[in-house]
Structures are given as structure tokens and as C-alpha cells.
Amino acid sequence: MSRPDSSSRSEQDEREAKHEKLWDLLDREPNIDILSLTRAFAHHLEYTVCKYRDTARGPDIYQALAFTVRDFLIDRWNQSQRTIREEKAKRLYYISMEFLMGRLLDVNLVNTGMRSQAAEALEAFGFDLAEIRDYEPDAGLGNGGLGRLAACFLESIATLNLPGSGSSIRYEFGIFHQQIVEGYQKEAPDAWLSRGNPWEIQRHDIRFGVNFYGHTERYVDDAGVVRSHWVPGESVIAQAYDILQPGFDTRMVTHLRLWGAQAGSEFNFDYFNHGDYIRAVEDQLHSETISRVLYPNENIQQGKELRLKQEYLLVSATIQDALATFRLEEKPEQSEDWDRLPDRVFFQMNDTHPALAVPELMRILVDEHQMDWDRAFDLTVRCLGYTNHTVLPEALEKWDVEMFGSLLPRHLEIIYEINQNFLEELRARGVPDEIVRSLSIVEEGQRKNLRMANLACVGSSAVNGVAALHTEIIKERVFQDFHRLWPDKIQNKTNGITHRRWLTSANDDLANLIAQRIGGAWQTDLERIQEIETHATDPEFQADWRRIKLKNKERLAKIIHFECGVAVDPRSIFDIQIKRIHEYKRQHLNVLRIIHEYQRMKTDPAYRESYTPRTVIFAGKAAPGYHRARMIIKLICSVGDIVNNDPDTNEVLKVIFLPNYRVSLAERMFPAADISEQISTAGMEASGTGNMKFMLSGALTVGTLDGANVEIVEEVGSENAYIFGLTADEIRASHAKGYDPVRIYEENRDVRHVLDAIRGNYFNRKEPGIFQELFHSLVYGGDFYHLLADFDAYRDVQARIAADFHDEDAWTRKSILNTAHSGRFSSDRTIREYARDIWGIDSLELRQPRVRAQ
């Protein structure tokens, strides 16, 4: 037996001691003071952005500051990850095809407590922080509420010191840049990465292979078990990029991990050496297409296939990443060690898009780790949760079996086996055949489809809705048979928003006013904001409240004038409807009401003289392939062209469509609103979060009893909101007994005059006939979304609003009470409920930061 070489051991000890000096340096927390910030900022401007006095411009100043802030985030992220690993904490992976992060500079400064220092440091160099932050582009990682919800959740996860992270796709191009040309939406590429992204960190060491196509082969393993092996036809690499997310007033920093697609082999020298230079790089370009664009056109086969590839890339990379971390930390050498997986890992599927997590986790456990089926399925279910975001059965994602099987042959086999086992269990329990068919993951028919929502329900330990009404609807209608089967599986988690972005950052004057009166405890406990209720009738507080609202309206008026060339009166009612353009959201009901008021002013001088000045503002994007939604935008713009240029009305009524709705524009619109339009057809909006953002800044809700509107009214009281229209039950009853919009059109004079103006080309004289299809859908096409049924009630509630707005003190009191009662709608509350009831994760104990957020 050889004796250890003492000199070698001494050298190793000496090397490790020297290493320790480096680790000690890394463990030191950087100073957050003016001198340290200015030095770091100047360093990044010269050495990272590579600028000097003659070339530095505003965008360069922004990038240098962003890199400076990122340095501090990296330090805290490393500390956070070390704590998670040392405590062997259970990790959450929140998987979403969208994370609508918006701009990051200001909210990161707010959460880290660096905003005042950064402003002072820039001011010393002659720059204004408010101007510099406007150089940041909106991150093009989402479209609407689904992605913005995920972004709010990630911020709350960090603020609550929870060991969780987000997972999504690194889209090179966002949904699209919306332009309005002669009233029509035109789409242009959203090249949000064209100047690079200073917030992202490419993780060169975190890369996973993701396979497509090919076939499967059967073989018998050493234990005599028949197993399957996937022989792929195409492989790509999922490359990780991290965007760091700090919590508020904590050392915790988590991350959004974005996956970009790269070629499995970057360059084919065989093609190159034979002179086929284009073919040599063709495969690389083809692979990178997967993460190129958010929401490819699903009206064509290639678009559908690309979308499915995106969903699988996200799911496969995230699960491989999570299992690699689990193996690193747990080292599951024995088979039974895998039983700890649900104690260390949980995946939350945000809608059905990540439902492939069910067969992918099964594939890895069964095929790669030789686990028996039943045990693998038990672990899979315990590691997964599913959030549903729709009450419309036709909106639940389905995939054609033939296409799915071609792209993911092994996953189709796994889904078939999951489904077979599930249906056998149902039949053994005596479930009737018609119920079995409704619960089946495979939808039979002329063309077979995979019901991804059913797959998510079967493969998850918990399913949740996102508002109380929404959850009841999915229990009673959308997933009623699943609810009967598993009565405890479906639960409610009402959505929430992060008030640090939507109040502290976006409406900082109001946040400061509130803090002056009640302190800053509401920043980490939004329920505490209710303390301002005691000031709701204080004349001085009311005056300050109105002053801030007017300032926000003046700021938005300048944006409107710049974008649309229309001057608006900031002292008019700012009546705002901002959301994705869709028939069920009923932007066109708002237009019908505007036309009615316009027509009445044209024929009734007394009404014109008494009319409360109003600016009606719309914003939102229509899906490129959704023709009727695009025509709703055209109708809004056409009505606006007439109303805004009519000297009989344009002093008191303006109609605005602000193009290219995005997070940074929303941050200017929510604080300026007097009225929050939440007028979707009752029973069709899952939750909504725009209603919460409006409420937080003191806007009054006009809406139906739909989504989270129900809970908003419960909190603030019906006397401080304007509710109208049919309820969800009344809508269902109307459909059941045979709703007749033709009768309403014939018998209701106001409705008929409005619709005849649309049909008669009053607002589109240069393009006659373009609104005929829209007219037909409302009158002879069944008016599925019940606009005509709700028209009178909507008209009347708007008249109440106009009258109430004249009582300045009473209106301001209602505005203050809306903000005071917004505490329930904090995403902190939502995330606490998820962590407690579904994820089973606990907050970590971290030292307080040396610089505290205010």
C-alpha cells in the first residue's frame, strides 16, 4: 500500500487556501453608496458599453446604469442560490410561455433601495433618471394578462424569499409592434433585442439537448422489462439565459430562465467542404427559428408545428434543468432516492401551454432512469400543478394527433398509455361511457385531437382557477366531470398584481402621498393600505389626491398628442379601456355607447350643453389572424375621426386609440384613469388584472359581474363602483331560451339608430361596406356576447358616472376608497396561497440588506 505524498498534499492544501481568498472576496457584499455607484457606472460606460465622451448617448447611459445595477443583483443572486442549496429547499419552477416583464431599470432600483442613489449619481453627471429610463425597450416576452401575471408572480416570489424561479422562451421578436395606418392595425417586427439586453446573463454551462421527430424502438432491459427508446430525427440545443428579479427590501434575488434554441451542431463542414455553403448553415438557422418569434401564425400548419416545438423546448429544457439540479444536490444513487423528488421540486404550469411537462417528466423517469410506470406517474403527479385561465371550452388547447405524433412520437405513446390507464380506472369505478368520453385525453372524431387541459388535469396534483367566479364556473361547467371525480383537486387562487411596480414605480407621487400619511408598511403588506380610508374625507388629502391625478392625466395627454396628434382636456373624465382586443371583452359595446352619446348631442342641444366632458381612450392589440378584432380597432378609429373633428362635439368628447399597447405605456395609463372599463360578457373573463391595476391607482370600475370584478365590488362596496348588465347565470339562461338580438334591434330605438349608422357607412364614407359583417354579427349573427342585451344598462350606468363626476369631493372619496381596499389583490397574497396550498414551499431566512428599500 503506497503512502500519500506529503508534498503533494501540502501543495493541495496551499492551493485550497489560496482559493479560499478568492471565495472570501466573492462573499463580500458591494457597497451601495453614491461613490461606489458612480465608479461602477463610469467603469461600465467605458469598459462594457465601450463609449467615451464623444460617443456616449442616452441609450449608452441607460445600458451602463443597467449593468451597474445588475452587478448588485448578481451578488445577491449568488447569495440566494447558495442559501437555497445549503438548506436543501424545495424549488418551484413556474413555467409560462409568456413573461411580460416590461422595463426593468426603475423597478429594480425601487426593490433594491437604490433609486435615490442612482438619481443622485446621474444628476451629478448632468443626466435625469426619468429621461434615461425611457431609453429601455419593453422586453418582448409576452402579449397580455397571462404574461404580466407571471411577471408579477416572479416579483412576489422574490419579495417573499421563496425558492422559486420562472421559465420561458427567449423570443428574439415579441408579438409585434402595432402601428395604426388609416385606422387599420399594421404589424411590424418587435426587435426588442436589437441593441442587446443588459439584464440578461447567458449561462454557457447550462445547455440541454431537445429532440423532435424520428421514431421509437422497443427493447428488453436486463430485468426482462420491455422498454421504449426514442430515436430522434432532429435535435437542437436549449441555451439558458437568465434575467434576475430582486425582491423588495430583501437580499433575495431570483431569476427568469429563458431558453433560446441553437443548432445541435453549429456548422456542417461536410457540406462546406463540398461547396454547399448555404446548406452548411441552413440547419443552424432552422433550429434557431424555434425561439425566434412569440406566437407564430397558427392559421397555417407550419405555424402550429412551430408553436408545439416552442412548448416542448420550454418544458423539456426546464425539466432537464430541474432534474440536473436535483441530482447535483441530492445525488440519487439508489432507486429509492428518487422518492425525494416531490420534496425538492415542483412545476407550476401556467395554462395548458406547458402541459407537455406531464409526458416529458414521465419519459425521463421511465425511459432514461428505468423507473417502473406506476411509481413514475405517482412522482409526476406530485410534482405538477396546473393553472387554468379560460372558461371558454373552445379556447382550451388541442393538438392534432397526427401532427403531434410526427413531432413527438414517444410522447404520444406515453399520453396514450396515461389515457388508457385513466379510462380503465374510470370504467372500474362505474363511470358512464359519456362521462368517460368527456374526460378522455384523446378526443375521438373525424380527426383525433389531444385535449391538453385534460392531460394537465390528469397529470397534476392540483388544478386552480384565478378568480372566485372563474373557479366556480370551471367546477360547474368546464371541468365539471373532473370535479365530480376529484372534488378536492380544483381550488381557487384569485390573481394579484405587484404594487411595487404598479404604484411605487408607476405612480410614485401617489405612493409618496400615501407613505406621508400612513408610513411605508403597505409596501410589503398591501392590506395596510386600507389605513388611508381614515383620510378619505380630509379636504387637504383630497386636494393632494386630485392634484396628483391631474398631473398623471396631463402626462398622458402629452403622450396622446404626440402619438395621435389629438389634443385632449385633462380635466375631462379619462375613461379608459385597455386590454387585448377580443369580442368577449366588448370594446365595441363601448363604441356603441359613444356613438349613441354623439348622436344625441347632434340632435339635442340641451344634452350637448349638459354633457360632462369625456375622453374615451382605448389601447390593445388584435391577433393578426382575428379579422373581427381588427375591424373593432378600425371602428374605434373611424368613430374617433368623425367625433374628434366635429366642431359640434369635439370640445366635450374625444375618442382615442393609442397604438402599440405595452407595459411601459400601461404605466402611464393606469395612474391617469378616472374610469376603468371592465365590461366583458359576464362569465367569460377568467379574472383580469387590469381591473386591479386601475383600482390601485384610484380609478372607479364600470363593469359586469365577471372575473375578479366580483371580488373588487365585494371589497370596495357596490356604492364605490358602477356595475351593470346581465350576470353569468342570466347569460346562460338567455342562450338556453333563445336570445333574439333582432327583436332588440327592431324594438329599441337607440340601438337601431346606432347600428344603422354603422351599417349606413356614416363613420366610413370613404370605405363603404367595411362594417357590414360587424353589423351582421350583432343583429343577425346571434350577438353571442350579448352587446345589445346589455346596451341600455351600459348607457344608463354611464349617465350615472357623468352625473357623479360633478361632485368633486364625493368622487375623490370613492377614488381613495378604491385604493384603500385594493389590498386583497396583491400578488404577494396570491403567492402565499400557492406556496401554502399547492407548492409546499417555505420562505428562506435571509439577512436584511444594508440599504433598505423605502
Catalytic residue among 500, 579, 582, 786: 579
Catalytic residue among 76, 499, 693, 824: 693
Taking the alpha carbons at both ends of the chain, their separation in whole angstroms is 65
DSSP strand pairing (675-678 vs 653-658): unpaired
In this structure, which amino acid lies at residue 506? Answer: A
Cα(488)–Cα(252) distance, rounded to whole angstroms? 33
- Decide: 822 and 770 in contact? Cβ < 8 Å: no
Question: SS3 of 520, please?
Answer: coil
The set of residues, in sequence order, having a beta carbon less than 8 Å from that of 723 and lying 6+ positions away, is 701, 702, 703, 704, 705, 709, 713, 797
Cα(94)–Cα(73) distance, rounded to whole angstroms? 20
Q: Is 689 a catalytic residue?
A: yes
- Decide: 678 and 702 in contact? Cβ < 8 Å: yes
> CA dihedral in degrees (226, 227, 230, 231; nearest 10)?
-50
**To the nearest 5 percent, what fractions of the chain are helix, strand and coil?**
55, 15, 30
What Rg do the C-alpha atoms of the chain give, in angstroms?
Answer: 29
Q: Is 693 a catalytic residue?
A: yes
Catalytic residue among 91, 344, 353, 389: 389
The set of residues, in sequence order, having a beta carbon less than 8 Å from that of 104 and lying 6+ positions away, is 66, 136, 139, 199, 243
Neighbour-count burial for 26-62, b at 16+ CB within 10 Å, e otherwise: eeeeeebeeebbbebbeebbeebbebeeeeeeeebbb
- CA distances for 209 relative to 107, 185, 318, 356, 470, angstroms: 35, 39, 11, 16, 38
The alpha carbon of residue 648 and the mean position of all alpha carbons in its chain are separated, in whole angstroms, by 42
DSSP strand pairing (184-188 vs 177-181): antiparallel
Q: Is 737 a catalytic residue?
A: no
Catalytic residue among 615, 689, 704, 830: 689
Q: Which of 819, 841, 845 is nearest to 831 (CA)?
A: 841
The alpha carbon of residue 349 and the mean position of all alpha carbons in its chain are separated, in whole angstroms, by 13
370, with CB counted inside 10 A (0-12, 13-18, 19+), is: middle
Positive or negative: CA dihedral 267, 272, 277, 280:
negative
Q: Which of 167, 157, 158, 22 is nearest to 77 (CA)?
A: 158
Q: Is 579 a catalytic residue?
A: yes
Q: Is 389 a catalytic residue?
A: yes
Question: Grid coordinates in use for 567?
Answer: 389634443
User: Within 13 Å of residue 587, how many CA atoms lie on the same side as its CB?
Assistant: 30
The set of residues, in sequence order, having a beta carbon less than 8 Å from that of 360 and lying 6+ positions away, is 312, 315, 316, 319, 411
Question: Grid coordinates in use for 819?
Answer: 385604493
Catalytic residue among 148, 580, 662, 821: 580
- Decide: 822 and 502 in contact? Cβ < 8 Å: no
Active-site residue list: 389, 579-580, 585, 689, 693
